[in-house]
Amino acid sequence: MPELLTLALVIPVAAAGAAVLTRRGRQRRRVYRELAERREMLIAGRGPKRQALSDPQGLRLAFERECILRVEGFLAPEGLAELREEARASRPRAERSFIPGHKKGGTLSYEAIHRHAPTCLAFYHAPALHEWLGAVVGERLRPTADHDQSSCSILYYDQPGDHIHWHYDYNFYRGRHFTVLLSLVNRSTDGGVSSGRLMQRTQAGEVIEWDTAENVLVVFEGARVFHRASPIAEGDERVMLSMTLCTDPGIHPLKELARRVKDTAYYGPRALID
């Protein structure tokens, strides 16, 4: 009898929970569909103002050897200033997270970038950027899913100790997956760069520091590059535009669930249902 009573209580609660999640799912799919429909209007006339770039074919061998590449002075000064202004204006909207032993910092999601940082959005979706990066890595590249809040995000390291520990950028998608970082701000109180460093640990155990001074672009295959962002000091400011591109944005449902679990480190529990 107690078992029947328990079952009688559990079934309607579970049904109600499933109904709420289903309704939430429909609402979120509608939001992402509307954002995608508005995107062309949002980014119109906001193409990236780049410097003259190196021949990508000349960089391809270096990338194939190391799976990581760094380019200085990627944008014209006015182009960098536009992205930096958007990022700084959006700082109050960033979601702060702290996972002891793993991560501390702020993140502005892909959805928020659609709403508040259209020039950053245009940079991520620029066909010329995709073409140049594709030539560097030797693959045709495409943006990742609209509902992936890490497809394009802004990372804020602006409080003492902000960092992310050693990790791979696990590839959840069917195709190859690449991480692209553009340094918008990297400053310390003494006028130099922040104490935060992009660091790589090779399979031989060697630790390499990659200079991410302002206007440096770094592209790497995150599933093959073990890396971290070291902690910043008091008064430091390091702001990165983080983008992910892949060769095939298709994803298996189980990997989609795993991707959402990973994103709880940036956006909290809402990443599981948004």
Write out pLDDT tens, residues 189-209: 888 999 999 999 999 999 999
> Are 34 and 136 members of one domain?
no
> Are 247 and 154 members of one domain?
yes
pLDDT value of residue 274: 72
Instruction: Say if residues 243 and 142 touch (Cβ distance below 8 Å).
Output: no
Burial class (CB within 10 angstroms; exposed 0-12, middle 13-18, buried 19+) of 255: middle
> Are 114 and 186 members of one domain?
yes
Spatial distance between the Cα atoms of 195 and 93, rounded to a whole number of angstroms: 24
Question: Nearest-5° angle of CA 176, CA 251, CA 122?
Answer: 65
Residues 6+ apart with CB under 8 A from 200: 68, 207, 208, 210, 225, 226, 227
Give the total number of structural domains in the chain. 2
> Are 107 and 21 members of one domain?
no
> Are 145 and 110 members of one domain?
yes
Buried b (16+ CB within 10 A) or exposed e, 87-116: bbebeeebbebeeeeebbbbbbbbbbbbeb
Does an H or E element contain 198, and which? Answer: strand 198-201
> Are 5 and 114 members of one domain?
no
Q: CA 58, 60, 62, 67: dihedral to nearest 10 degrees?
A: 160
> Are 36 and 54 members of one domain?
no
User: Token pair of 262, please?
Assistant: 């990973």
State the chain's maximal CA–CA distance in angstroms. 77
pLDDT value of residue 25: 64
pLDDT value of residue 42: 85
pLDDT value of residue 8: 57
Amino acid at 206: E
> Are 7 and 114 members of one domain?
no
> Are 6 and 70 members of one domain?
no
DSSP label of 233: P
Interval 218-231: pLDDT, tens: 999 999 999 999 99
Helix ranges restricted to H, the chain:
2-43, 56-66, 77-89, 110-116, 118-124, 127-137, 253-267
Question: What SS3 class is residue 166?
Answer: strand
Q: What is the CATH number of the domain that holds 145?
A: 2.60.120.620
Ranges of residues in the chain with a pLDDT under 70 are 1-25, 51-53
Domain of 7? Answer: 1-44
> Are 26 and 100 members of one domain?
no
Spatial distance between the Cα atoms of 53 and 180, rounded to a whole number of angstroms: 16
> Are 105 and 122 members of one domain?
yes
Instruction: Say if residues 163 and 157 touch (Cβ distance below 8 Å).
Output: yes
> Are 130 and 30 members of one domain?
no
What is the pTM assigned to this prediction?
A: 0.88
